[in-house]
Amino acid sequence: MGKGMKAGKKPKMRQNAGDMQKQLKQLQAMQAEMERTQAELAEKELTTTAGGGAVEITINGNKEITKLVIDKDVVDPDDVEMLQDLVMAAVNEAIRQMEEMTEAEMNKITGGLGAMGGGFGIPGL
């Protein structure tokens, strides 16, 4: 126990209201920046392929497939499983890359605060 403290008493917090207001404004600015970045990311698209380009997937920032191209040479009625595997591989890679891009953009704003599990009630953290 610190000097002058009695059992059962809690130390007083000495953070003034001005500091808390400043921190709140910083969090609000961070949240606005994150919302702007999320809107920009939603507009972005990226394309991945599987099977040496036999299947091509384009995905947007909302992780929605916007384009799917399948080379006619890989459409084999006797081997549907191979085509299914190629589509899944391309989709999964597209999602992984979009999540990686989103995380990198958000970390630019938060400095990695979201990785600590805080979240601060901000969507995307």
3-class DSSP assignment, residue 50 = strand
Characterize the bridge pairing of strands 65-70 and 45-50.
Answer: unpaired
Q: How many residues does the chain have?
A: 125
The top-level CATH class assigned to 48-110 is alpha beta
Q: Quick one: CA dihedral 9, 15, 21, 23, positive or negative?
A: negative
pLDDT at 11: 56
The pLDDT value recorded for residue 120 is: 46
Alpha helices in 1-125 (DSSP H): 17-43, 80-110
Predicted confidence at residue 10, as pLDDT, reads 60
Q: Taking the model in full, what pTM does it have?
A: 0.66
**pLDDT tens by residue, the chain, 125 residues:** 556 556 666 655 556 777 888 888 888 988 899 899 889 888 999 999 999 999 999 999 999 999 999 999 999 999 999 999 999 999 999 999 999 998 998 888 888 665 544 444 445 44
Question: Across-strand partners of 49?
Answer: 56
Give the span between the Cα atoms of 25 and 74, in whole angstroms. 55
Q: Where in the chain are the domains?
A: 48-110
pLDDT at 67: 97
